[in-house]
A and B are shown apart, each in its own frame.
Chain A
Amino acid sequence: MSIFEYNGSALVAMVGKNCFAIASDRRLGVQLQTIATDFQRIFKIHDKLFLGLSGLGSDAQTLHQRLVFRHKLYQLREERDMKPETFASLVSAMLYEKRFGPYFVQPVIAGLGEDDKPFICTMDSIGAKELAKDFVVAGTASESLYGACESMFKPDMDHEELFETISQALVSSIDRDCLSGWGGHVYIVTPTEVTERILKGRMD
């Protein structure tokens, strides 16, 4: 079994009209065994920047701690938050540093950039950025997620419709993947507020 499939994960981020949504599943497993059903894969870096880390849980935790450290240093030096584009470049650089002994993660970065324009991107485990205008996916359920998002996505959805769309795409995809599931965790971020919701899907 691939090391990327050891813990199981599903991540998706979508762009809406002046908002974005990022969602993940909640299962933490060790291959076929489920350990926990409340695992956190999406982390807030600052109010307008969220990072999702799929893949090996241990490396996701290590990378998250290192990135929080780097961002806090940046905040102290620059006296402001990092822009999402800058943060994506930072993550990419940190991953490529370990080119010949990589972190087994696939990050998904979602944020509101200059003028609150939504920004999403994903990258592979060695930092190859993939910017997208509509949606990005990662994790063991990524193939299902690509299909679900492609068919359900519409440009310029408002935050309520975006929530419905991303939730349906996530739940239908993780239902087809045995390594991810046990509900969903969805963050909807607009320039004024952040809404966090837990989804209940097939609990298996």
Chain B
Amino acid sequence: MECVFGMVGKGFALVVADSSAVNSILVHKSNEDKIMVLDSHKLMGASGEAGDRAQFTEYVQKNVALYQYRNGIPLTTKAAANFMRGELATALRKNPYMVNIVLAGYDKETGPSLYFIDYIATLHKVDKAAFGYGSYFALSMMDRHYHPDMTVDEAIKLADQCIEEIRSRLVVAPQNFIIKIVDQDGAREHSWRRTTKD
């Protein structure tokens, strides 16, 4: 019952993910970090098959770094999103990665942006995105309360409302959530929302 969601605010983008690593009925750990910091100004929240998630996110992170070393400038968020889509699309008919991604980034010229990339390599630039069973609650909550140019406090409050909804309405709700934010100062961890310590 993994879930990842994200939204764009005024000058920043937020990604929230659950942090449970589950195998059938067993919770291996509940402090798994599923939001990878791709580079200084990009966040990649991923949900799906555990092995594919770890492999694919690391692969993308290293390739994004390689581009920067080779070319001296970092990839834009749009370029990184299209790179990911390309890799997923190429692998789709051979050995698909079962990973859904919410990519958040901040570019100096274009500001914050959020990209929805599902496991079949459908790419779309959005203001709010969510994956997993939690998406049924998170998207509806965001449809109701989201408006463009929210402040960080308003966005965190909305994220908390989404988490609250998931916790109360999803039958096997994840225990803990991690929130990461990216703005002009960079990508960083914002906070955790815990019900259990690990």
What residue in chain A is nearest B118 (Cβ atoms)?
A: A30
Question: Main SS of chain A's interface residues?
Answer: mixed
Q: How far is the CB of A32 from chain B (nearest CB, A)?
A: 10
Judging by beta carbons under 8 Å apart, are B124 and A36 in contact?
yes
- Count of residues in A whose CB is under 8 Å from the partner chain: 14
Judging by beta carbons under 8 Å apart, are B93 and A28 in contact?
no
| B85 sits at the interface (CB 8 A) | yes
Which of B85, B93, B122, B123 is within 8 Å of A7, CB to CB? Answer: B122
Judging by beta carbons under 8 Å apart, are A36 and B136 in contact?
no
Convert A45-67 into 0s and 1s, putting 1 for each residue whose CB lies closer than 8 angstroms to a CB of B: 00000000000111001100000
| B121 sits at the interface (CB 8 A) | yes
Complex CA gap A129/B39 in Å reads: 46
Judging by beta carbons under 8 Å apart, are B120 and A35 in contact?
no
Judging by beta carbons under 8 Å apart, are A56 and B120 in contact?
yes
What residue in chain A is nearest B135 (Cβ atoms)?
A: A33
Complex CA gap A35/B126 in Å reads: 9
Which of B122, B126, B129, B135 is within 8 Å of A61, CB to CB? Answer: B122
What residue in chain A is nearest B82 (Cβ atoms)?
A: A65
Judging by beta carbons under 8 Å apart, are B126 and A36 in contact?
yes
* A-B pairs with beta carbons under 8 Å apart, 28 shown: A7-B122, A28-B122, A28-B124, A30-B118, A30-B122, A33-B135, A33-B136, A35-B116, A35-B124, A35-B126, A35-B129, A36-B124, A36-B126, A39-B124, A56-B120, A56-B122, A57-B120, A57-B122, A57-B124, A58-B85, A58-B89, A58-B121, A58-B123, A61-B85, A61-B89, A61-B121, A62-B89, A101-B93
